[in-house]
Amino acid sequence: MESARDPIPFRPYEPGTQPPYDVPAYGSTHKRHPQEALARLPHTVTEVAGPRFNPSQFPPIPDLSAVNGKAALGERIIVRGRITDEGGHPVPHTIVEIWQANAAGRYQHPADQHDAPSDPNFRGEGRVYTDEDGWYRFISIKPGAYPWRNHHNAWRPNHIHFSFFGSGFAARLITQMYFPGDPLLELDPIFLAIPDKAARDRLVCKLDMTLTEPEWALGYRFDVVLRGHAATPMEG
Amino acid sequence: MPAATSGQTIGPFWHLIEHPEWADLTRFGAAGDRIELTGSVTDGDGAAVTDAAVELWQADPPADHLFPGFGRCRTDARGEFRFTTLKPGPVPGRGNAQQAPHFAIALHARGLLKGLVTRAYFAGDPMNESDPLLSSIDDPERRATLIARSRGAGHWRIDIRLQRGPSGETETVFLDV
Ligand SMILES: [Fe+3]
C-alpha cells in the first residue's frame, strides 16, 4: 500500500529519448545488453536520494586547456550551460564531470591506440559545479574526431563526455556533447541510437557569441535537463 | 518543458575521471561496521568486462561529510571490482514496507548506451524474505543474482552477468528505474 510519506518518484523517461540497450549497429552492445526484461522497481529512498559532492572534498578542475601553465594545442573553447530538471527548476551546486580526447583525437589513456599525437599540456579530465542558478562553465580544447573499430572506416564525431548526478540516484546521467555542423553525426551509431531526432539534436551544443571571448576562445552553449519528479511537491 | 537529456555510453576511456580512492567510502573517516564488497562483471560469452565503471550507492548510513554513500570502482583485467564501505541497515520501502539492507549498483561501460542498475542484498538476512523487490522476483535463480554471498568476516561478494552465460549461467536482474 502506498503511503503519504512515500518519496515522490522520478518521472518516467519520455518515449524515444533514451537509447535502447541492444543496438545492432553498435557492436559492443551485442554481448553486453540484458536479454531478460528489466524488473520494475517503484522508487524508494534508495532511488530518490543520491550522492552530494562538495568542492572541499572533490576540488574543481575548471580548465582542461593547460597543464602547469603550458597551453595545450588546438582550438580553445569555453563551454557554458544551465542544468535544470524536467520541471524547469535549476539544479544548483551539482557536480559536472568532463573528459575528452585532445585536439588530435587522442585520449590520455594507455588503451587508446589511435596513431595521433599525445599532448602533455592537455588535461583530459575536468570537474565543475553549477552555481545556485544551475549554471556551469569550463575551458577546454575542441576535441578531435577519432577512429574506432565498430565497422570499416568508423570515426566518432567530435565529442565531450559528461557525467551528471542530479537530485537522486535514479536521475544519474552520462552523456556526450557534440558540435554543430559535424558531418560524422549522421554516420555515428552511438548518436543515432537515440530514436527521437529532437532528443538527439539536444546533444549538439550551439555556438554562442555572447560566451565567445574576443581574441581568446569560441564559446559554446550546452544545456542539460535532468530527470524531474512525477509530481511537484506542494510549495510554501 | 523539455524531457530529460538523452544518455550516451561512458565509452572505453572514462578512466580519465577515475580516482581509485573513490572505491573506499570510509576514506573520510566514517566509523561503523566496515565491510568489503567484491565482485566481477562478465558478458554473454562469459568473458570478463574489463572497462566498466561500477558505482555503489547506499541510502544508509545516511551520507554526511565523513561518509559519501557513493563510490566508483573500475573493473580490472579480470573483470573484478572491490569496494570498502559501511554495512547498510534496512531502509523504508513504499507504504509500510521495510527494505532489507542493500546497495544500489550502477554499471557504465562501452556497449552500454545507458547505465544498468541492479542491487546487492546480503545472504542470510532475515529481512530478505519480506523485501518488496526480492519478493517480486519469482524465479529463485534470478532472485539469487541480487544477493551477495558472505566470504568470511566482513567480506561480501556479488558476480554480475550482463547476459546468460555460455553454460547457462543466469543473467543478473537489472532494474527499470
Ligand atoms: Fe569518446
Contact A32 B49 (CB under 8 A): yes
* pLDDT computed for residue A236 by the predictor: 35
- Report the candidate in B142, B156, B158 with the shortest Cα–Cα distance to residue B105: B158
Q: Does A24 map to a domain?
A: no
Report if residue A5 sits inside a domain.
Answer: no
The beta-carbon neighbor of A199 closest among B3, B68, B115 is: B3
How far is CA B177 from its chain centroid?
14
Mean pLDDT of B12-18: 96
- Scanning every residue of chain A, which has its alpha carbon at the shortest distance from the alpha carbon of B42? A32
Cβ of A191 and B8 within 8 Å?
A: yes
Instruction: Please enumerate in sequence order all residues whose Cβ is within 8 A of that of B137, keeping only pairs 6 or more positions apart, or say none.
Output: A39, B143, B146, B173
The residue that leads in pLDDT, B118 or A166, is: B118
Structural domain boundaries enclosing A88: 48-225
**Do A44 and B137 lie within an 8 Å CB cutoff?**
no
Partner residue facing A109 (CB), from B15, B59, B70: B15
- For range B112-119, the mean pLDDT: 98
Residue A120 lies in a domain: yes
Residue numbers of A annotated as active site: 107, 146, 156, 159, 161
pLDDT of residue A232: 57
Determine the distance in angstroms separating the CA of B9 from the nearest CA of chain A, rounded to an integer: 6
Query: What ipTM was predicted for this assembly?
Result: 0.97
Is residue A235 assigned to a domain? no
Cβ <8 Å between A38 and B163: no
- CA-atom Rg of chain B in angstroms: 16
The verdict on residue A221 lying in a domain is: yes
- Residue A1's pLDDT is 63
| Amino acid in the structure at residue A153 | N
What's residue B120's pLDDT? 98
Give the gap in angstroms from C-alpha B16 to the nearest C-alpha of chain A. 6
Residue A183 falls inside a structural domain? yes
pLDDT band at residue B88 under the 50/70/90 scheme: very high
- Asked if B7 contacts A173 with a C-beta cutoff of 8 angstroms, the reply is yes
Centre of ligand 1 from the C-alpha of residue B162, in Å: 22
Pick from A12, A6, A76, A58: which is nearest to A216 by CA?
Answer: A76
String of DSSP letters for chain B: -PPPPPP----TTGGGG--GGGGBTTTT---S-EEEEEEEEE-TTS-B--SPEEEEE-SSSPPBTTB-SEEEEE--TTSEEEEEEEPP--EE-STT-EEPSEEEEEEE-TT-SS-EEEEEEETT-GGGGG-HHHHT---HHHHHTTEEEE-STTEEEEEEESS--TT-PPPPP-EE-
Write out the three cell numbers for B125: 538476512
Q: How far apart are CA B34 and CA B146, in angstroms?
A: 21
Between CA A63 and CA A203 the distance in angstroms is 22
**pLDDT of the residue at B1:** 73
pLDDT of residue A109: 85
Q: Environment class of residue A121 by beta-carbon count within 10 Å: exposed (0-12), middle (13-18) or buried (19+)?
A: middle
Contacts of A197 (CB under 8 A, 6+ apart): none
Taking the C-alpha atoms of residue B15 and residue A1, their distance in angstroms, rounded to an integer, is: 43
- Can you tell me the distance from the alpha carbon of B94 to that of B132, in angstroms, rounded to the nearest whole number? 9
Q: Are B177 and A41 in contact (CB under 8 A)?
A: yes
Strand bridging mode A135-141 / A76-85: antiparallel
Candidates B160, B29, B27; CA nearest to B103 is: B160
The answer to the question of residue A30 being in a domain is no
Question: Does residue A119 lie within any of the structural domains?
Answer: yes
Which residues from A are below 8 Å from B177, CB to CB? Answer: 10, 41, 43, 47, 170
Look up the CATH number of the domain holding residue A168: 2.60.130.10
Distance CA B127, CA A87 (A): 37
Q: Which residues numbered 130-159 in A keep a CB inside 8 Å of some CB on B?
A: none
- Which amino acid type is present at position B136? S
| Separation in Å, CA of A227 to nearest CA in chain B | 5
Number of folded domains that form chain A: 1
Tell me the chain A residues in contact with residue B174 when contact means C-beta distances shorter than 8 Å. Answer: 34, 36, 38-39
Of B9, B96, B102, which is closest to A190 when you measure between CB atoms?
B9
A6 CB within 8 Å of a chain B CB: yes
Tens-digit pLDDT string for chain A (236 aa): 678 789 999 999 999 999 999 999 999 999 999 999 999 999 999 999 999 999 999 999 999 999 999 999 999 999 999 999 999 999 999 999 999 999 999 999 888 889 999 999 999 999 999 999 999 999 999 999 999 999 999 999 999 999 999 999 999 999 999 999 999 999 999 999 999 999 999 999 999 999 999 999 999 999 999 999 987 554 43
Q: Which chain A residues are within 8 Å of B113, Cβ to Cβ?
A: 18-21, 23, 26, 29, 190, 193
Q: Name every chain A residue with its beta carbon within 8 A of the beta carbon of B2.
A: 86, 202, 225
Residue among B9, B57, B94 whose CB faces A169 most closely = B57
- Give the residue on B whose Cα is nearest the Cα of A37: B174
Q: Around Cβ A6, how many Cβ atoms within 10 Å?
A: 18
Q: Which of A152, A134, A155, A164 is nearest to A53 (CA)?
A: A164
Domains of chain B are 14-161 (2.60.130.10)
Q: What is the pLDDT of residue A235?
A: 42
